[in-house]
Amino acid sequence: MGSDPVNVNEFEELARKSLPKMYYDFFSGGAEDQFTLKENIQAFQRIMLRPRILVDVSNINMSTEILGYKISAPIMIAPTGMQKFAHPEGELATARAAAACNTIMVLSFSSSSTVEEVAASCDAVRFFQLYVSRKRDISAKVVERAERHGYKAIVLTGDRPRLGRREADIKNKLIMPKFKNLEGLLPVEIG
């Protein structure tokens, strides 16, 4: 690619060329036979943006509010775990980008940076993704830490009663780092 990427496909190709295969596969893949991943891609491809013709577009305002927080466009940064696989600063760089773009970052439960590290990195509006643990006191402690460090909302995710079988990660012998936000609360080694 001779020029800067300008669309999602070009960014994906740049990532494929830049990242070690196991890390690219981690970010681009899904669990099991990747059925849900394929369905999500097809669903987005069915979305049609219909241009409006002969309409005054001299003053466009895409800003909106999410839970009372004004953001520059109806776009937030979704929770993505293990960002340090892609860049040494990981979630810290993402939080700074969210602040610079005036949008909201949702910090992943399985982030490679702690809630405290991300909070100290900038003044972005941050939400925290939570997978509720069977040990409710563990969930409560993680939520209390997020609240204490200025996270404005909890994004409850209920799709992981157990980790999916990620075949590319198995083939690549990917070793997951410890879940930083659970250190000292639970065993953080992942089998």
Q: Which CATH number fits the domain that encloses residue 140?
A: 3.20.20.70
pLDDT in tens, 67-115: 999 999 999 999 998 999 999 999 999 999 999 999 999 999 989 999 9
Domain that holds residue 104: 8-49+63-182
Task: Quote the number of domains for the chain.
Answer: 1
SS3 for the chain is CCCCCCCHHHHHHHHHHHCCHHHHHHHHCCCCCCHHHHHHHHHHHCCCCCCCCCCCCCCCCCCEEECCEEECCCCCECCCCCHHHCCCCCHHHHHHHHHHCCCEEEECCCCCCCHHHHHHHCCCEEEEEECCCCCHHHHHHHHHHHHHCCCCEEEECCCCCCCCCCHHHHHHCCCCCCCHHHCCCCCCCCC
Residue 190 lies in a domain: no
Q: Please state the pTM of the whole predicted model.
A: 0.84
**What pLDDT, on a 0 to 100 scale, did the predictor assign at position 105?**
97
Residue 154 reports pLDDT greater than 90: yes
High-pLDDT (> 90) share of the chain, % = 57
**What pLDDT, on a 0 to 100 scale, did the predictor assign at position 191?**
47
Residue 164 reports pLDDT greater than 90: no
Residue 2 lies in a domain: no
